[in-house]
Homo-oligomer: A and B are copies of this chain.
Amino acid sequence: MSDSPPGIADLLGVLAYAELTAFLRLAEDATRHAPSLTDRAALGGLAAVEYAHFELLRDRIASLGVDPEEAMAPFVGPLDAWHARTTPGDWLEALVKAYVGTGIALDFYREAFYREAAAGMGEETRSLVDEVLVDEERSQFAVERVRAALEEDPKLAGRLALWSRRLVGEALSQGRYVAEARPALAELLAEAAGGEIGKLVTRLTEEHGERMAALGLTPGP
């Protein structure tokens, strides 16, 4: 671990596995639900970007002298559980999940790396995070398709809003589980949020509300 603060291997590990599994799940959703080859290719493109992020994170973990597989292992259960509980039933649910899911991950990057925690992190990790964040707009295509579908059939909004809340609810409940199991990671995140993990949760929830609005779904009460 050399000069990295405790919890950094955990942080990189959870993000690496999140990217790897997002890649594989998005590819699966693209195969199963895309209504056209163009759509399949678009969701596939998002998936391929996640794989590129995974490679960056894996290499960064290895460069810290940590085995990437070991760094990821504690997070396989919670992330697999999240995906199992949020398997999209159709194309629109897959799009909302792609946008909301990558959004949660990006908030997490930002919160974890750009606040206090970033201080002890080193230039290399910081530039890695910059690279990941650049790809944010790739999921914009999902926003456009969902908004177009809602314009055509406004009654879809209720179901998709519910779906979106379920995505974030399940993420928070898996996150709580992870925080209990990995105290060093929880401490690092709490520090990044100004000493309190509750603030991080509040901020993630607010950002989720903004994403729901972007999709044309009013945030829930």
Contact = CB atoms under 8 A, between A and B. Distances in A.
Contact of A17 (B20, B37, B73): B37
Contact of A36 (B23, B30, B69): B69
A91 to B, nearest CB: 15
A73 to B, nearest CB: 7
Contacts of A21: 31
Contact of A37 (B25, B38, B47, B73): B73
A93 B40 CA distance: 25
Q: How many copies does the complex hold?
A: 2
A37 B17 CA distance: 9
B38 A69 contact: yes
Contacts of A30: 24
Interface residues of A, number: 29
Where chain A touches its partner, the secondary structure class is helix
Interface in A109-142: none
A166 to B, nearest CB: 22
Interface of A: 17, 20-21, 23-25, 27-28, 30-31, 36-38, 40-41, 44-45, 47-48, 51-52, 54-55, 58, 68-69, 72-73, 76
Contacts of A28: 24, 27-28, 31
Contact of A47 (B17, B36, B41, B51): B51
B20 A40 contact: yes
A68 B120 CA distance: 48
B52 A48 contact: yes
A48 to B, nearest CB: 4
Contacts of A54: 41, 44
B55 A51 contact: no
Given A54-B41, A76-B37, A47 B20 contact: no
